[in-house]
Amino acid sequence: MTGGSPSRTHAGVGERVFVAGNGGWGTAVAIVLAANGHEVSLWGHDLAYLAEVARTRENPKYLPGVTIPEAIAIGPSLEPLSRAGIVFEAVPTQHLRTVMRQLAPHHRPLTPVVSLTKGIELDTFRRPTEIIAAELGGTPVAAASGPSHAEEVARGLPTTIVAASTSPELARKVQLLLSGPVLRVYTNADLVGVEIAGALKNVIALAGGICDGLQFGDNSKAALLTRGLVEIARMGVALGASRETFGGLAGMGDLITTCFSPHGRNRAVGERIGRGESLEAILASTQKVAEGVRTTQAVRPLAARLAVDMPITEQIHRVLFAGLCPRQAVRELMLRDFKAEL
C-alpha cells in the first residue's frame, strides 16, 4: 500500500460524527472513527434492536463477536445529528430516501454527508449521493467505497478504500477522518464511477456465486470477473464516469473481494441460487440485504435506455426474475455471437 498524502495527521481530531445505519458496515466505520479520536454517535431505524446493541455493546445480527467501544454513543435520538460536523450513512439503497427524509429536519444545511451505500434506486435510477443531495437540499456529498468487508475492518485487518467527491476538499477530509493503522484511504474525483462500480459489482457477485453453486472452476470465475468488469465500465462511461476508475479499488478491487469472499452477501445468494434454491426462499431466510438483487432490477432498464450492452446482467435478471435455469443462462452466454475482446 504505497503512494500517499503529504500529511498523516487526522482531520479535526475530536470531530463530531453522526453515523446513520447500524448494520455491519455502519458499525465498523463507527469503530474506525472512534479509534481515530472522533466523537461518534451511531443511530439506526430499528429502535428496539438499537437499544439491545447499546446495552450489550455488540451487533449480533450484522457483526457478531465484535465489541463496540463504550466511546461510541448508541441511541435513538437525532439530536447529535444537529451538532455533527459530518455525517456517514450506511442505509440500504431502497430505504435511503425514506431515512434521509427522517433525518432532514435535524440535519444542518451544508453539513457534508458521506455515503457508504452501494446500489441504484429502483425507478429513478439514482445513485446514493444523488438521493442524499436531493433530500437534504443539495448538501455536499461524498462516497466511500472499495474492498471493505465490515467483518475484517472491525477486527483491525488492513483495508484500503477510496473516498470520492466532486469536492477535493471533502474527499480529502474523508480521507483524513478514516485513515489510520486499520484503514488506508485514497481520494478520487470520479464520484459517478466510484458509485457505479460499487453498485454493479454486486450484480456480478450474484453471478460469481452462481458459478460457485454450480461448482464451476477458476477459469469460469476469472472470465466472469473480467467480462463483468467490462460491463460495469460500459455503464459507468455511458453515465459520464472515467474508465480508469474501474481498474481501481472501487472497481476491480471491490469486485474481487465480493466475488470470492465468504463474507459476500451477494455471492452467497448467488451460490444458493446455483444450488437450486429460489430467490424468494433465500431472501426470506436472511435479515441481511443483498443489494445486487434490487440493483439488477434497476440497472436492466437503465441499460436498455442507454443502449449499453450488458449480457451477464441480462442473464442474471432472467435467472432471478424470469425463472431461467442458471445452467441454461451460462450456456447462452457461452454461445453468444463471436466478437473481438477489445
The 10s digit of each residue's pLDDT in 109-154 is: 999 999 999 999 999 999 999 999 999 999 999 999 999 999 999 9
Asked if residues 57 and 70 have their Cβ atoms less than 8 Å apart, the reply is yes
Please give the C-alpha separations between residue 284 and each of 268, 269, 320, in angstroms, as whole numbers.
Answer: 14, 11, 14
Q: What percent of the chain has pLDDT over 90?
A: 91
In single-letter form, the type of residue at position 299 comes to V
The residues annotated as belonging to the active site are 201
pLDDT in tens, 204-256: 999 999 999 999 999 999 999 999 999 999 999 999 999 999 999 999 999 99
Q: What is the distance between the alpha carbons of residues 163 and 168, in angstroms, rounded to a whole number? A: 10
Domain 193-334 listed as CATH 1.10.1040.10: yes
Mean pLDDT for the stretch of residues 28-47:
97
Domain with CATH 3.40.50.720 in the chain: 16-189
pTM: 0.93
Confidence band for 7, pLDDT divided at 50, 70 and 90:
very low
CATH class, domain 16-189, is: alpha beta
Percentage of the chain beyond pLDDT 70 is: 96
Give the pLDDT score at 237: 98
What are the residue ranges of CATH 1.10.1040.10 in the chain? 193-334
pLDDT at 11: 52
* CA atoms of 131 and 104, how far apart (whole Å): 12
Give the residue among 88, 130, 126 at the shortest CA–CA distance from 107: 88
Instruction: Return d(Cα 276, Cα 290) in angstroms, integer.
Output: 18
- Does the structure show a pLDDT above 70 at 305? yes
Determine the pLDDT at residue 287: 75
- Mean residue pLDDT of the chain comes to 94
Give the pLDDT of residue 13. Answer: 62
Cell of residue 181, nine digits: 493503522
The helix/strand/coil state of 41 is: strand
Q: Is 230 exposed, middle or buried (0-12, 13-18, 19+ CB in 10 A)?
A: middle
DSSP helix/strand/coil, 318 = helix
Quickly list DSSP for 43-77.
Answer: E-S-HHHHHHHHHHTEETTTEEEEEPPTTSEE-S-
Q: Does residue 189 carry a pLDDT above 90? A: yes
